[in-house]
Amino acid sequence: MESTKLPESAPRLSVRQLSTTFASEDGRVTAVAEVNFDLHPGRTLALVGESGSGKSVTSLTLMGLLPRTSQAEVGGQALFSDRTGQQLDLLTLPPKRLRALRGNELAMIFQEPMTSLNPVFTVGEQIAESVRLHKGLDHRAALEHARRMLELVEIPAAAQRLVAYPHELSGGMRQRVMIALAMACDPTVLIADEPTTALDVTIQAQILDLMQRLQRETGMSILFITHNLGAVAHFAHDVAVMYAGRIVEAAPVEPLFATPQHPYTRGLLRCLPGNSREADGRPTRRLFAIRGQVSSPSSPPPGCAFAPRCDVVMGACEQRMPPLLTVGVSRQARCLRVPQSIATP
């Protein structure tokens, strides 16, 4: 595949019109459609939404880790800038070239470390394996590098933990090992898929602070996949809200939290404790819940996917999928209710 030189101002990862479909008894099912976003150096983009919105499928598509049995078909572009400044499309790279990037320049922290770490190898051997493969270090040098990585993620008695097995560590420790494994080869892009879901609140905060520190020290770009809006406010710079496989709103963190444009985003924010409101706007102690459920990918509604659950739905919403409109500066929303005076295609 030919590669081109990347301009210095370009993002490290630029995703355009990403789509992923799977085979089913009823034909092809669309899990991700028309997804666009950019990852810039030193910044974190949070991809948020309910379970089933397409967040994890997006990350697995970019990493080339979709199961072969799913008979997935992928479209669009995912232009990645490697360390030499060359631009490569992750979706069309030969498997061998993608493996050389994965775990090296492009890394991922998986949702559940207990199922991602190999139970029959020590954590030191698992980190060292990645370094030997991508950096060409011998066994002793790779283990020493693994020890330094465990110290970097603030695991106490790192030399002793090198010979520990995953089941001998706490959940927080295993998640730190996953971060050490992902960071072992100094990636420029890190995908973190629900990295704090299985942890208690205190450990969650420690993990997020650790990732922020590592980002400041290395300048890496992070795609942070979560449904925790509290973590988004603390950790991310930009947000892309997904619903039924599509991005329905994208904006920097502060404007999105202050003035959400899409009804789904407003619903997610109302679900936060302390943000619940009655219909007339009065605060209430009752937790708000968005009515209904995410539509099935195998039988999506004809128009806006959120229309069956939306409190401000119009007739036009049920007839066609709204386009993603530009709303002011650095903001987009996929909604016909967006003020037409400030919205442009």
DSSP state, residue 102: B
Predicted local confidence at residue 338, as pLDDT:
81
Task: Considering only residues 285 and 303, tell me which one the structure prediction assigns the higher pLDDT.
Answer: 303
Confidence (pLDDT) at 342: 47
Specify whether domain 4-236 bears CATH 3.40.1280.10: no
pLDDT at 280: 62
Kindly tell me if the per-residue pLDDT of 12 is higher than 80.
yes
Predicted local confidence at residue 199, as pLDDT: 73
Q: How far is CA 208 from CA 44, 205, 231, 250, in A?
A: 12, 5, 8, 22
**Mean pLDDT for the stretch of residues 78-101:** 93
pLDDT band of 298, cuts 50, 70, 90? confident
> Which percentage of the chain shows pLDDT scores above 70?
92
Q: Is residue 201 pLDDT above 60, yes or no?
A: yes
The pLDDT > 90 percentage for the chain reads: 58
Angle made by CA atoms 330, 336, 339, in degrees to the nearest 5 = 60
User: CATH 3.40.50.300: which residues of the chain?
Assistant: 4-236
Q: Is the Cβ–Cβ distance between 168 and 196 less than 8 Å?
A: no
On the question of pLDDT at 2 being above 70, the answer is: no
CA nearest neighbour of 318 among 342, 301, 333, 332: 301
Grouping H, G, I as helix, E, B as strand and the rest as coil, residue 296 is coil
* Token code pair at residue 193: 């898929």
| pLDDT value for 6 | 44
**CA separation for the pair 117, 131 (Å, rounded):** 16
Query: Under a CB-based contact definition with an 8 Å cutoff, are residues 12 and 59 in contact?
Result: no
Say whether pLDDT at 328 is over 50.
Answer: yes
pLDDT at 191: 95
Average pLDDT, the chain: 88
Answer whether residue 276 shows pLDDT above 70. Answer: no
Over the stretch 97-152, which tens digit does the pLDDT of each residue have? 999 999 999 999 987 777 889 999 999 999 999 999 999 999 999 999 999 999 98
The model's pTM: 0.89
pLDDT score, position 9: 59
pLDDT digits (tens, 9 = 90+) for 239-261: 999 999 999 999 999 999 999 99
**pLDDT of 277:** 59
Helix or strand or coil: residue 309? Answer: helix
Q: Give the confidence band of 200 by pLDDT, cuts at 50, 70, 90.
A: confident
